[in-house]
C-alpha cells in the first residue's frame, strides 16, 4: 500500500509536494479507510483506499502521476537503460532550475513491511539514494551519496566495490546480488513492478484479462451499467497482436435482433467512443489491482463515461467484499459533482498554478475551516480555498 509520495523540481512542480494516503482523524465515510497495524503505521494506523487530485485543464494534476511514473521507470530500467536518468524533466520556468535537485521519495507497505525509498537527481546524475525499513523506527538498509555507499551487512571496502555509475540506481543493480538486504530490495522492486499507472489506453493493459477468467465477466457487468451496448467481449492475443473484440447486437427497424456485430477496440478505432476504449483498458487494470491488492493510478478519470460509473468504480475499492486485499485507487479529474458525493476531505487534493507558473498540490483537509458538509466543488470553483492559501 502507498503511504505517501514526495517529490520536487519535476515538470510543473518546483517546490516539494506530498501526496499522502494517511487517513486523518475524520470520522466520516469510514469504509474509505483501511486499518493498518500500529507496528507499521504508529501515528494513525489507517490508510485511505482512494484519493483524487482535482484541477482545471493545465493545472498540473497529471504531473503528479507522471512524477511517480518516472520514479518507477528509473527503478525498473536504470540498470539496462542509463538514458532514463538523463530524461529527468526539472521545472522549466526558473533560471538554473536544471541544476537543482530533483527529489523522489516514496513510503509504502509491501510484504507486511514498511519501507521508505528514494533518490535525488542533479544535473542528469544520481547523487543520493536511500532505503529505510521500519522496525519500531525507520532504520537505514543502505545510503548512497556522490562519494560513499553504506550497505547493511557490508564493510566500507566491500560496499565501495558495489558503487554503481551515476546513471544507475544501486537498488536496481543490487537486485541480482546476494546481499543481507536482498529480500528487502526484492520487496521494493516488487512494489514498483506491481504499481500501475494509466495515462492512455494501451493494448498491453488488456493482457491483465488473461490472469483470471472472471475478470472479463466482472468487467462486462460494469459495462452494462455504462449502457455502451456491449453484450460480450473476447480477448485476442496472437503472438504480438493484442486486441479486445466486443459484441454488439444489430436490430432491424422493428427492434428485432438480427445479428451480432464484432468490433475490435483498437483495430476498429472510431467505431467505439474514446471513453469506452479507455474504460475497457482501465477495467483490466482495475480487476487486477483489486485481485492483487495493488496501487492503481488513473489519469483523467472523469472521461470514463459518466459520474455514476466513476462513483461505482471507486465504490469497488471502498467495499470490503470487493476489495479484501486493500488495493488503492488514485485518480486525477476535473472538478465535478463527484467531489462532494464520495470523498472525505482527506481524500481530496487540488492543484493550482501561481504567478511564477509553479504548480501547488494541496490537500483539502489541510485548509483551515473546511466543514464536512459544505460543497467542496462550489468552493473550489469560487477559488475560496485558494484565497485561504493566498495563492490567488
Q: Does residue 270 sit in the same domain as residue 364? A: no
Task: Give the DSSP letter of residue 13.
Answer: B
Range of the domain at 322: 1-195+294-392
Q: Both 206 and 185 in a single domain? A: no
- Size (the chain), residues: 392
Domain co-membership, 287 together with 304? no
Strands 149-151 and 137-144: antiparallel
- 269, 292, 315: which is the final residue of a domain? 292
- Does one domain contain both 157 and 271? no
Task: Tell me the mean pLDDT per 10 residues along the chain, length 392.
Answer: 97 96 84 88 86 89 97 91 88 88 97 96 94 90 94 93 92 91 96 97 96 94 86 94 94 87 93 91 97 96 77 91 95 79 88 90 83 67 54 42
User: CA-CA distance, 171 to 177, in Å (whole number)?
Assistant: 10
Confidence (pLDDT) at 204? 96
Q: Are residues 174 and 61 in the same domain?
A: yes
Q: Based on the fold, state whether residues 50 and 114 are members of the same structural domain.
A: yes
Cα–Cα dist 118/172, whole Å = 12
C-alpha cell at 362: 494541496
Residues 75 and 111 in one domain: yes
Same domain, 222 and 360: no
Q: Give the CATH number, domain containing residue 49.
A: 3.40.50
Same domain, 27 and 160: yes
CB–CB of 101/119 below 8 Å? no
220 and 180 within one domain? no
- 81 and 212 in a single domain? The answer is no
Do the beta carbons of residue 48 and residue 347 sit within 8 Å? yes
User: Same domain, yes or no, for 157 and 261?
Assistant: no
Domain boundary among the residues 270, 292, 314 is at: 292
Structural domain count of the chain: 2
Max distance between CA atoms of the chain, in angstroms, equals 83
Amino acid at each position: 500500500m502507498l503511504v505517501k509520495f514526495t517529490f520536487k523540481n519535476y515538470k510543473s512542480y518546483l517546490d516539494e509536494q506530498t501526496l499522502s494516503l494517511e487517513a486523518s482523524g475524520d470520522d466520516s465515510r469510514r469504509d474509505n479507510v483501511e486499518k493498518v497495524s500500529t507496528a507499521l503505521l504508529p501515528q494513525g494506523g489507517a490508510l485511505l483506499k482512494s484519493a483524487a487530485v482535482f484541477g482545471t485543464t493545465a493545472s498540473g494534476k497529471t504531473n503528479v502521476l507522471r512524477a511517480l511514473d518516472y520514479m518507477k521507470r528509473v527503478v525498473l530500467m536504470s540498470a539496462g537503460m542509463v538514458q532514463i536518468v538523463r530524461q529527468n524533466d526539472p521545472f522549466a520556468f526558473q533560471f538554473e532550475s536544471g541544476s537543482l535537485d530533483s527529489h523522489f521519495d516514496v513510503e509504502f507497505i509491501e510484504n507486511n513491511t514498511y519501507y521508505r525509498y528514494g533518490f535525488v537527481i542533479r544535473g542528469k546524475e544520481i547523487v543520493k539514494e536511500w532505503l529505510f525499513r521500519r522496525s519500531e523506527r525507520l532504520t537505514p538498509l543502505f545510503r548512497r551519496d556522490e562519494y560513499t555507499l553504506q550497505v547493511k551487512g557490508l564493510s566500507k571496502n566491500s560496499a565501495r566495490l558495489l558503487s554503481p555509475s551515476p546513471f544507475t540506481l544501486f537498488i536496481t543493480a543490487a537486485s541480482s546480488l546476494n546481499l543481507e538486504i536482498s529480500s528487502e530490495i526484492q520487496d521494493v522492486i516488487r512494489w514498483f513492478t506491481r504499481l500501475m499507472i494509466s495515462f492512455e489506453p494501451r493494448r498491453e493493459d488488456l493482457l491483465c484479462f488473461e490472469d483470471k477468467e472472471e475478470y472479463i465477466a466482472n468487467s462486462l457487468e460494469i459495462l452494462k451499467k455504462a449502457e455502451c451496448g456491449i453484450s460480450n467481449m473476447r480477448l485476442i492475443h496472437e503472438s504480438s497482436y493484442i486486441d479486445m473484440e466486443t459484441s454488439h447486437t444489430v436490430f432491424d427497424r422493428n427492434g428485432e435482433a438480427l445479428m451480432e456485430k464484432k468490433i475490435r477496440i483498437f483495430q476498429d478505432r472510431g467505431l467505439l467512443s474514446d471513453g469506452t476504449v479507455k474504460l475497457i483498458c482501465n477495467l483490466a487494470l482495475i480487476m487486477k489491482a483489486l485481485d492483487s491488492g495493488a496501487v492503481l493510478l488513473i489519469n483523467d478519470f472523469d472521461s470514463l463515461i459518466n459520474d455514476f460509473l466513476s462513483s461505482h468504480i471507486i465504490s469497488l475499492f471502498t467495499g470490503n467484499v470487493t476489495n479484501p486485499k486493500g488495493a488503492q485507487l488514485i485518480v486525477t479529474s476535473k472538478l465535478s459533482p463527484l467531489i462532494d458525493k464520495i470523498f472525505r476531505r482527506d481524500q481530496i487534493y487540488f492543484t493550482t498554478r501561481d504567478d511564477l507558473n509553479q504548480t501547488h498540490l494541496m490537500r483539502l483537509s489541510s485548509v483551515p475551516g473546511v466543514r464536512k458538509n459544505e460543497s467542496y466543488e462550489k468552493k473550489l470553483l469560487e477559488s475560496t480555498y485558494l484565497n485561504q492559501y493566498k495563492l490567488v
